[in-house]
Structure formats: structure tokens, C-alpha cells
Amino acid sequence: MAKILDQFLNDHLQELKDAGLYNVIDPVEGPNGPTITIGGKQLINLSSNNYLGLATDGDLKKLAKDAIDKYGVGAGAVRTINGTLDIHVKLEEKLAEFKGTEAAIAYQSGFNCNMAAISGVMDKNDAILSDELNHASIIDGCRLSRAKIIRVNHQDMDDLRKKAKEATESGQFNKVMYITDGVFSMDGDVANLPDAVQIAKEFDLITYVDDAHGSGVMGEGKGTVKHFGLEREIDFQIGTLSKAIGVVGGYVAGKQQLIDWLKVRSRPFLFSTAMTPGDVAAVIGAVDKLLESSELVDKLWENGNYLKEGLKKLGFDIGHSETPITPCIIGEEKLTQQFSKRLMEEGVYAKSIVFPTVPQGTGRVRNMPTAAHTKDMIDQALSIYEKVGKELGVIS
């Protein structure tokens, strides 16, 4: 290794460790369900994004196996050569039905969606109004587009209107886009889409909603846009297939004309091999389940509300979440790391989340109950939270 690189890595890794910002990755020994096994120890799992428990669903596993038998383990090429299998077409039709749009395009990950869609439409002659708490993939997609990025105060519609007026009336930009998460993953609050849409209409803004944490959760599972009845008002609906859907991949849903453009101009679609057949088949099966019934979504909300009420009653600061996402806000980074470590030692797996994922001084443990958790599991977790919280002085 080059000496300069060795010095850089040693110095900066130590800085992260000293500040309590170094994240240790724990390999999971088995399926990622309501309980997981790490280091031979079974733990109640409150760190998964597997909202509906579909990552371990028996029906989806069978569909994936059958697709591998029929198509093989890989698509074999990028979509524009011969990597588009008939099940890719079926998947995109199913996603469009799910999101209530004319068409959809599938990508290899949710992160890829934001890299592809933003830079596929916006360029250096444009401006993007971006909520300050948007996901890292949105930020990176904006940077890749080379558009002027204008940060909007979180959920501040007055600030959005002011900056939309300034941007559109300046004459500097060909197009102006407003981008927001549908559900913000660290605090669990929901975007004020009705007011944002009214502002967008007033100033002719392109509207873009990343609903990675809203699809499968809001709107009887169909997402935040559906929750507000705005399917015809939002230009871009972005989603991931790795959270509530339980598999891997991502998609953009919208007008047919938009999807046609992305299929010829979005680089991750053009230059990266297509989703694997097994993944595609499992996703189709998961979407079918959501289209058929809201049972899993209802169970998720029931468990989420139960955990929220329990933690709040114990005296934890759970912020202002409007979704099953339930943060326990600790504050100081090292204490947050210590809190998470003690939870794990006692039998609950809830990872600490610190800067740069959240602002410094707002470290938290993000809890994500799923539809697969039982009340007994949640009660056990609450008992452990009470013990560790009192031990570390987080609650009295």
C-alpha cells in the first residue's frame, strides 16, 4: 500500500473510532426475520427494513427458485441488448399498476434509481429544490446531474415557496425540480405532499418523490403518493424493492413518455446488467400480495403503534414519527453507540445511527417493528429497553 494512503486510512479511521462514529458490521447467521442470529446468539431484530416480513416469505422463495430453474441465475446482459426477459416486462407492468401510473422502469437498486432518474432529466442548466433531510442517494443523484442544488428547510413550505419563486423568476434555469422523500427514514415523518403539489403547480416545478420507506407502508401499502391521492400530480414516483417488498432493486413510475425517455437516457439502465430472474419473480409475487390484501400492512401498523406507545410510556424521546419507524433519540454519539451495544448484549438488535447519517448530537437507535413480530417479542424488547435505559441514565 502507498505510504500516503496508509497514513490517510490509519489517521481517519482512528478519528472515527475516537468520535464514536465508526460502525461495526455484524454478519447475520441465517434469515433476516423478526429474530436474527449473530455470533451464535438469537436476538429480537428491530433494525431491519423488512417491514412486511416478505424477505423470508415461503411463497416468494418458491417463485424465485422456479424462476431460476426457468431462466438461470442471471439475465446475462444489459436491458438494451438482450437482458430484458419477459418477466422484466411483467414486473414493470405490475409496478405501474401498483403505483397507479401509466408505466414504470426497474433498476438494480433504489440507489440506482436516484442516480439514474435525476441525472437522466436534469442538467447543468437546471435547478433542484431538495429537502435538507433527503436520503444520500438523492443528494448524490442531484450532484451527478450537475444542476444547481438549492437546499430547502425540512418540511418548510414557506421556504419552498420562497425558493421556488426565486429560482423560477431568476431566468437562470431551464427547468426546476422539487425533490423530497415520501417518508423520512430517520425520523419517520411524512412529506407534506398536498402543499408541495400546490406550490409546484404555481411555479411549474417538476415533482419527484422518493417513496422508499412509504411504499408497502402508507396508502394501504401503495405509498405516500397514494395516501394523499396524488398519483396524477407527481411526475416521478421512486421506490425500492428491498424494504417492504423484501427483495432487491428499485423502480421509477410515471407517465409513459417519462419512462420511454429513461429507457434511452438513464445510464444505470443502459450500462448495468438487468435484475436477476429470481429477484424479479419474487418481487412480482410480493407486489401481488400487496395488491390482493392490506393484511400485512395493517399488522405492521399495529405492531408499530404498540412499540411506540411502550417506548413513550417508558420515557424515551421517540421524536415525531408518523409511521412505524420509531427512533429512540439519545443525542451524544458515544452514548448512542454504548446504548445499542448494551441492547444487543441483553437480546435486542437495534443499531445505533450517528453522524453523518443524522446530524451530530442527534444520535439515535432506529427501531423498525415489522408485520412478522409478535406482541411477546415486542414486550420482551420493551423490558430490555427499560433495563438498559435506566442503567445508562437515558430514562429515569
Catalytic residue list: 185, 213, 243
How is residue 285 written as a grid cell? 409475487
Query: What is the DSSP-derived secondary structure letter of residue 42?
Result: E
Contact 336, 327 (CB under 8 A): no
Integer CA distances (angstroms), 304 to 40, 148, 293, 315, 387, in order: 28, 38, 19, 17, 21
> What H or E segment, with its residue span, contains residue 105?
strand 103-107
Contact 135, 212 (CB under 8 A): yes
Residues 90 and 281: their CA atoms lie apart, in Å, by 9
CB-side neighbour CA atoms (13 Å) of 21: 15
How is residue 271 written as a grid cell? 450500462
Residue type, 60: L
Give phi and psi for 86, each to the nearest 5: -60, -30
How is residue 59 written as a grid cell? 411463497
Assess whether the previous peptide bond of 356 is cis (omega < 30° from 0).
Answer: yes
How is residue 322 written as a grid cell? 408518523
How is residue 176 written as a grid cell? 426546476
Residues 315 and 83: their CA atoms lie apart, in Å, by 53
How is residue 50 written as a grid cell? 423488512
CB-side neighbour CA atoms (13 Å) of 384: 23
In sequence order, what are the residues at sequence separation of 6 or more whose Cβ sits closer than 8 angstroms to the Cβ of residue 336?
20, 330, 352, 353, 354, 363, 364, 365
Sheet holding 127-131, edge to edge: 103-107, 250-254, 236-240, 206-210, 176-181, 127-131, 148-152
Phi-psi label, residue 288: left if phi above 0, alpha if psi -120 to 50, beta otherwise: alpha
Residues 339 and 311: their CA atoms lie apart, in Å, by 15
